[in-house]
Amino acid sequence: MASRIEDYALIGDCETAALVARDGSIDWLCWPRFDSAACFAALLGDTCNGRWQIAPDHVLNVRRRYREDTLVLETEFETNDGVATLIDFMPLRGNSSTVMRLVHGKKGRVKLNMELVIRFDYGHTVPWVRRGKDGSTIAIAGPHMLALRSKTPVHGEDLKTVSQFEVNEGESVTFQLSYSASHLSPPEPIDPDPSLKDTEGWWKQWSSRCTYDGPRTDIVKRSLITLKALTYQPTGGILAAATTSLPESIGGSRNWDYRYCWLRDATFALLALMEAGYYDEACEWRNWLVRTVAGSPDQVQILYGPGGERQFFEWEVPWLNGYLGSKPVRVGNAAATQLQWDVYGEIADVLHQARAGKVREYGPAIHLQRALTEHLERTWRDPDQGIWESRGGPRHFTHSKVMAWVAFDRMIKSNEQFGMDGPAQHWRALRDEIRDDVCRHGFSVELGSFVQSYGSKELDAALLLIPLVGFLPVSDPRITGTVRRIEEQLLWHGLVRRYNTSQVDDGLRSGEGAFLACTFWLADNYILMGREQEAGRIVDRLLHLSNDVGLLAEEYDPDHGRFLGNFPQAFSHVALVNTLLNLSRAHSPVAKRSDANKASPKK
């Protein structure tokens, strides 16, 4: 059975990633890319679907940590006979991708077991295994090859590769598993000690570029490292998460593939990177976005593959039982075909914020922004699926209309601040028209609050973004009323739900945890309102939810005290960084995202 979601840590090489449980088992790894088929899929099935465990038989205590400012993971196992440390990392990729696992004896004499179960194609395909000329173990199936190397003897047993070994104090045992295409020669071995030193040095150097020096710097850095680990290095695309199909409720069917890049994360991610000093990454993310959405404006998708891929189909994996029986397991994401007008606002916002942050201009970005704005002028009045990707019918979602307003607002600001050519007066008229439309149809006088969609009485946590993007200031009674209603209806043990899931109209089994990013948005509203102490309490609660190595999932179930949703979740970590920067006042993404909070706009 898979471990709890919060019991996993992440290692990676900025092209793919693995999840390592507290029991020393790698239960999830896709090779060669984040979105490739998994060769270890025990996370969504059982051990027969692939995993790689190194651990003692009888463990008294487990302690874990990342080496400071790195993605090098240390798991310390304490037994009756001694203490051993398992060091897991993935070197930055050269000719091949490799997982390194080093076992160091720290105290006494510890007996450990190694069990390697390789199952390509999401836990389905048993490979052909042979002995290499250099004594390595080679596993091949179709286009895939894995090569296991260790000086410790291994042998085959029940379609597994196993080993039993011991380490005394001061001794070390090393295992390395490398991926390559099967038509090539097996990957060359890597010298483990220099590789560890180089990997640790690379991450420390990257972390040292962080310019944030306010409260909780270590937590900000850990989230930024996680964000970097979820970045596809060849293109700069940032993935939503490293996993697919971790459920929004245990046993439920709302299980989605998050190993792709969502456009709506763009502005939050860009501001977090820029405010922390990572302008190269911000520039690469901006350039990825521009290249990826280039083309006909009516073909813009809400999500893309790490390389900018557009064509990927959603299908169900019948041989996997799902995380704790949460079926189905899905690969691909059909939401890519949905209409969601908010992404047009996100694109306009991220391009404007990049200019404001003095990220060097990228010529195609100007043409793209103009084309998308002209398209949105023709389409913003139409309904869409909204930020939460409802699989029911399209509606006039209030947040989507607000983000259409953002698209024209940022065009106007780019004209005023950076001389972008265009019909500024026409854009102002459209901006005013959208504002009037939202305030007329998206606000309920009865509730004293904005609502999820035109004509409804439902609340939505996305409404917390209205002041954060500058549509209305937090001093506006319509905003204070909206925050008050969300506090009354969507708070759950101090955390924020996205919406009332009992009203979901997509035909899927409903129910989910509290959404962590939305809870950070509530804290951001409190900060703007001058309620810093309340914001601080929310942040303290959220940080307390982080697992032992500082990682967050998408959601949290307060009733059962456990993570839900895909993991680790970039959106949660980006929200964490931005809220801590907002609290610091010296670095405030929300202030930079909107100067409309300073004065009440036209009613």
In order, the DSSP letters of 9-65 are: EEEE-SS-EEEEETTSEEEEEESSSTTSPEEE-GGGS-GGG-EEEEE-SS-SEEEEE
- At 28, which amino acid appears? W
pLDDT of residue 506: 52
pLDDT tens digits along 560-599: 999 999 999 999 999 999 999 999 876 678 777 765 434 3
CA angle, residues 177, 179, 181, in degrees to nearest 5: 155
pLDDT tens digits along 418-444: 988 889 999 999 999 999 999 999 999
| CA pair distance 206, 547, nearest whole angstrom | 23
pLDDT of residue 597: 37
Please classify residue 50 by burial: count the beta carbons closer than 10 Å to its beta carbon, then call 0-12 exposed, 13-18 middle and 19+ buried.
buried
N residues, the chain = 603
Tell me which residues of the chain have a pLDDT lower than 50: 509, 596-603
| CA pair distance 225, 231, nearest whole angstrom | 10
pLDDT of residue 598: 42
DSSP string, 560-592: TTEEESSSS-HHHHHHHHHHHHHHHSSS-HHHH
SS3 359: coil
Q: Are 331 and 36 in contact (CB under 8 A)?
A: no
Write phi, then psi, for 360 (nearest 5 degrees): -55, 135
SS3 210: coil
Whether the bond into 32 is cis, omega within 30 of 0 = yes
How many helices (H) and strands (E) the chain has is answered by 15, 28
Quick one: which of 508, 499, 497, 505 has its CA closest to 555? Answer: 497
Q: Are 241 and 230 in contact (CB under 8 A)?
A: yes
Q: Which residues contact 96 (CB under 8 A, 6 or more apart)?
A: 178, 179, 180, 187, 188
Q: Are 127 and 111 in contact (CB under 8 A)?
A: no
| CA pair distance 554, 545, nearest whole angstrom | 12
| CA pair distance 279, 308, nearest whole angstrom | 21
- Which residue ranges form the domains of the chain, and what is each CATH number? 5-204 (2.70.98.40), 212-598 (1.50.10.10)
CA angle, residues 98, 104, 105, in degrees to nearest 5: 160
**Residue 244 carries which DSSP code?**
B
Q: Are 372 and 350 in contact (CB under 8 A)?
A: no
pLDDT of residue 476: 97
Q: Six-digit token pair at 377?
A: 């002028």
Quick one: which of 239, 219, 215 has its CA closest to 227? Answer: 239
pLDDT of residue 594: 63
| CA pair distance 92, 119, nearest whole angstrom | 24
| CA pair distance 468, 406, nearest whole angstrom | 11
Q: Six-digit token pair at 162?
A: 């196993």
Quick one: which of 36, 32, 8 has its CA closest to 99? Answer: 32
SS3 594: coil
User: How crowded is residue 426: how many other Cβ atoms within 10 Å of its Cβ?
Assistant: 13
DSSP string, 304-354: E-TT-------EE-TT---BTTB---EES-GGGGS--THHHHHHHHHHHHH
Measured torsion, CA atoms of residues 20, 312, 319, 137, in degrees rounded to the nearest 10: -50
User: Which phi-psi region, left, alpha or beta, contains residue 387 (left: φ > 0; alpha: ψ -120 to 50)?
Assistant: alpha
pLDDT of residue 600: 34
Give 78's strand partners: 61, 83
CA-based Rg of the chain, rounded to a whole angstrom?
25
SS3 148: strand
Q: Are 231 and 281 in contact (CB under 8 A)?
A: yes
Quick one: which of 122, 117, 120, 116 has its CA closest to 142? Answer: 120
- At 211, which amino acid appears? T
SS3 246: coil
pLDDT of residue 359: 87
Q: Are 69 and 203 in contact (CB under 8 A)?
A: yes
pLDDT of residue 257: 97
Q: Where are the beta strands (DSSP E) in 363-493?
A: 443-444, 449-450, 491-492
pLDDT of residue 589: 80
- At 169, which amino acid appears? E
SS3 163: strand
